[in-house]
Amino acid sequence: MSILEEEKKILCLAPMAGLTHAAFRELVAGYGGCTLFFTEMLNVRAIVFQNPAKDPYLITGQRDCPLRAQLVGREPELFARAVKRLEESFAFEGYDVNFGCARGAIQRYGWGVALMKEPGLAAEIIAAVKENTVKPVSAKLRSGFKHEPDQLLRFVEALIKAGVDQITLHPRAAEEGFKRPARWEEIKLLKEAFSLPVIGNGDVFGPEDALRLLESTGCDGVMIGRAALLRPWIFRDVAAFLEQGSYPSSPSPLEAPEKMAGLVTTYLPPALQEKRFELWLFWYLQNFSFGLHYFGQIKKERGLAAKLALLRKLLASERIGPYPARPYLLR
Ligand SMILES: Cc1cc2nc3c(=O)[nH]c(=O)nc-3n(C[C@H](O)[C@H](O)[C@H](O)COP(=O)(O)O)c2cc1C
């Protein structure tokens, strides 16, 4: 038996704003291997005060399950009301609270990683979510606002007291952005300090990295973000590698964009289809040496059909290279 089956490790698609919508999750699901999907972050205020039936962020696919909803905000009462509302008409597998997003605007509102400075309030948010659902409630964290492992431990302890069922750690401090390598040793620190499941995240760029992360930290699962944008089939490859030590070859460079164009048309409202396709291409094209140049050309084309036609030309003689699938900024 492989490490996947024996130890019930889970493989998660990371929540990524503007990117892990229903169409992209379906693309990932179609390639297989992912065992837990997350939505992009959902603003609790929007869920409470707008009509969820008309909210494009709440569209779900057919194969993107189990699907956990990631919530972002600040007021425990709004988290409670949002979860109550979602429980009434959606079939999410559980709820995740975003304590990790380090974007300027999010931090200015006091959301995301800014809440790591307020463990009392963060615990109240977890308790408010727990009170309104019997489903799993998880939290996604960075290392902290600054790099302070003792504070990280205290923060997690507060969330555990409030009832959190699982933690995902992206081990970089807010002030570090993506500038330094993820500190996987902090994933191990949490795993050793607490008995709840810990999902490891950060800098998994291929199947070999996933195995190294599992083995070096003892974590209960792996969450992959950017490399899944470059290779939506990465979960299939990780699962195969963990099961049998090898993985299939990559699909042709055009396959994923062709599928994605169909999926955005099926799942997203017309006003978002081209924007979301383009946003994903920014990442996908980083598989190729001249990807940013290709992206500049694709951006100038208007309409999905025109973008696809140009892609067919640009990618005709390209191939997907071996892992690791690193985004440009890290090469
Ligand atoms: C474009 C982008 C959008 C992101 N949006 C979110 C988000 O909505 N919620 C969240 O918790 N993390 C978000 N993240 C962080 C990722 O979920 C993940 O923690 C991070 O990218 C590290 O994982 P990776 O090295 O596998 O990419 C985002 C990251 C990127 C690159």
pLDDT confidence of residue 3:
72
Provide CB contacts within 8 A for 234, sequence distance 6+: 33, 206, 207, 224, 227, 228, 325
Pick from 330, 309, 313, 323: which is nearest to 250 by CA?
A: 323
pLDDT confidence of residue 83:
98
pLDDT confidence of residue 127:
98
pLDDT confidence of residue 217:
98
Would you list the DSSP string of 100-122? ----HHHHHTT-GGGGGG-HHHH
Mean pLDDT for back-to-back runs of 10 residues, the chain (331 residues): 76 98 98 97 97 93 98 98 96 98 93 96 98 98 93 98 98 91 97 98 98 98 98 98 96 98 98 98 97 97 97 97 89 51
Contact 218, 208 (CB under 8 A): no
pLDDT confidence of residue 8:
79
Contact 126, 85 (CB under 8 A): no
Domain map (residue ranges) of the chain: 3-244, 255-314
pLDDT confidence of residue 1:
63
pLDDT confidence of residue 4:
72
pLDDT confidence of residue 28:
98
**Which CATH architecture describes the domain 3-244?**
Alpha-Beta Barrel (3.20)
Rounded to two decimals, the pTM is 0.97
Q: In angstroms, rounded to a whole number, what is the distance separating the alpha carbons of residues 246 and 212?
A: 15
- List all residues whose CB is within 6 A of at least one atom of ligand 1: 14-17, 19, 40-41, 70, 98, 100-101, 140, 170, 201-204, 224-227
Ligand 1 midpoint to CA 249 (Å): 26
Measured CA distances, 67 to 5, 7, 295 (Å): 20, 21, 30
Pick from 272, 288, 205: which is nearest to 57 by CA?
A: 272
